[in-house]
A = this chain, B = another copy of it.
Amino acid sequence: MDPHLLRTFVAVARCGSFSRAASELGYTQSAVSQHIAALEADLGTSLVNRRPVVPTPEGQRLLEHAGPILLRLDAARAEITKMVQAPPDRLVVGLSPLAFMADIVAANHVRVLPRAEVVTGVAQGTLDLGLVDGIAAPSDPLNLPDVAPMATVGVAERPLVVVFPHDHPLARRKRINLADLADAQWIDAPESAIPLAQLRSASGTDGFRAALRYEGTHVPGLLQMAAAGHGLILLPQPMVDGLPAVPITRLVHRVELISIPSSGVSTIPTH
Partner-B contacts on A (CB < 8 A): 1-3, 43-45, 57-58, 61-62, 64-66, 68-69, 72-73, 75-77, 79-81, 83-84, 146, 148-149
**Pair B2/A64 contact, Cβ less than 8 Å:** no
**Pair A45/B83 contact, Cβ less than 8 Å:** yes
**Count of identical protomers in the assembly:** 2
**Pair B66/A69 contact, Cβ less than 8 Å:** no
**Pair A79/B57 contact, Cβ less than 8 Å:** no
**Max chain B C-beta neighbours (<10 A), residue from A65, A72, A75, A77:** A65
**Pair B64/A80 contact, Cβ less than 8 Å:** no
Main secondary structure of the interface of A (DSSP, over half): helix
Given the interface contacts A1-B73, A69-B69, does A61 sit within 8 Å of B80 by beta carbon?
yes
Cα A74 to Cα B62 in complex, Å, equals: 11
**Pair B77/A43 contact, Cβ less than 8 Å:** yes
Q: Name the B residues within 8 Å of A77 (CB-CB).
A: 1, 43
Q: Looking across the interface, which residue of chain B has its beta carbon closest to that of A44? A: B84
Contact of A64 among B45, B58, B68, B149 (CB under 8 A): B149
Distance to closest chain B CB from A22 (angstroms)? 22
Q: Name the B residues within 8 Å of A61 (CB-CB).
A: 76, 79-80, 83
Q: Name the B residues within 8 Å of A76 (CB-CB).
A: 1, 61-62, 65-66, 69
Distance to closest chain B CB from A2 (angstroms)? 7
Q: Looking across the interface, which residue of chain B has its beta carbon closest to that of A76? A: B65
Distance to closest chain B CB from A20 (angstroms)? 24
